[in-house]
Structure 1
Amino acid sequence: MNLNSIGLPATQSKELAGDLNILLANFQTYYQNLRGIHWNIRGRSFFDLHAKFEELYNDANMKVDMLAERVLTLGEVPLHTFEAYTRASRVPVGKNISKDEEAIRLIVDCLKELLILERQILEASDKANDEGTNAMMSDFITEQEKTVWMMKAWLAEKI
């Protein structure tokens, strides 16, 4: 078996890096959505949501960096152009969203897609014995599930 410099199967690492690049692209779209709703939110919830959206986009920005660095650690090149992000992303794109409920629903819809991708990567990284990617996905999933619960609570909806 051909192992890379960190002792993982080279072929599986390349595939995982590809999956992580797709997640990276989706996170970049999610990040831009969060910036947009942060800038454009209006109404009585402005102060609370403006601050919350900033917290979320700062977190997403940190995760983008972590994903890119993991792709590099696996020996591949992270996606880094808007064209590549647009091609690979499947999270919904929010445009001109200024209403609180619409903004929260966009976050929930984006996180649902991110969680689906992260669970797929978690399964693949487990099979490759890639604990670094596995731990990252587990952490992302745990945080995002809590965020979905909180957003659904704000909407007065069940998970």
Structure 2
Amino acid sequence: MKNPTIIGLSEVDCLNISEKLNILLANYSVFYQNTRGAHWNIKGDQFFTLHPKFEELYNSLVLKIDEIAERILTLDSTPNHNYTDYLTLSTIKESKEVSDATKAVENILASFKVVIDLQRDLLEITERAGDEGTNSQMSDYITEQEKEVWMYNSYLGK
């Protein structure tokens, strides 16, 4: 491994962080596809409210998927890229409830909980390893997503 030496991290830490990032990548990928499904299939009087909101969310998710994969590469590992791996590693499951507004938003909130929890775990691991790059990335994601959780909860009246 050349990159860990260049960026000042140990090979063991890079492997451990990359493994956790691949789990996060899997969860983001399933979250992304579920959100696309909700965007495509949402029905009812909330269509005009949620359709563009879901598009905004999946566009944000796809950027994070790319950034996470690139961080894994920076750590000199290989990002998983197929849904077989994603479905095996992901805690987030494929959603079939994509037409009902309340169920779709509840699914999005549950997915946010999973990725935020994983990112908090990564904060601890990366802090111990001195991996400021991944740590900063996770911190930025959490800050953004906590606001999204507040907004989606507000939509549900919570």
Query: TM-score, structure 1 length as denominator?
Result: 0.95
Q: Which runs of 4+ in 1 moved over 6 A?
A: none
1:107 corresponds in structure 2 to 108
Q: Deviations over 1:81-105 (max 9, x none)?
A: 1101010000132114201111100
**Greater share of residues in helix:** 2
Alignment-mate amino acid for residue 82 of structure 1: Y
Return the alpha-carbon distance in structure 2 between the equivalents of residues 146 and 93 of structure 1: 24
Q: Secondary structure at the match of 1:50?
A: helix
Show the counterpart of 2:76: 75
2:29 alignment partner in structure 1: 28
Cα RMSD over matched residues?
Answer: 1.2
**Are 1:34 and 1:57, in contact at CA under 8 Å, matched by a contact in 2?**
yes
Equivalent residues, number: 156
What is the distance in 2 between the residues matched to 1:51 and 1:108?
Answer: 17
Aligned residue for 1:92, secondary structure, equals coil
Q: Secondary structure of 2:52's match?
A: helix
Identity of aligned residues (%): 46
Q: Which runs of 5+ in 1 are unaligned?
A: none
Query: Are the counterparts in 1 of residues 22 and 80 from structure 2 also a CA contact under 8 Å?
Result: yes
Q: Distance in 1 between matches of 2:115 and 2:17?
A: 15
2:142 is matched with: 141
The alpha carbon displacement at 1:5 in A equals 2.4
Take 2:67 and 2:32, find their aligned partners in 1: how far apart are those partners?
Answer: 14
- DSSP 3-state at the match of 2:80: coil
| Structure 1 position 97 matched with structure 2 position 98 | yes
Q: In structure 2, the residue corresponding to 1:56 is in which secondary structure?
A: helix
The alpha-carbon deviation at position 15 of structure 1 amounts to 0.3
SS of residue paired to 2:30: helix
Deviation string 1:44-67 (CA, Å, 9 cap, x unpaired) is 110110000000000000000000
Look up the equivalent residue of 1:150 and give its one-letter code: M
Residue in 2 that maps onto 1:118? 119
1:84 matched to 2:85? The reply is yes
Give me the whole-angstrom Cα distance separating, in 2, the residues matched to 1:77 and 1:133. Answer: 15
For normalisation by structure 2, the TM-score amounts to 0.96
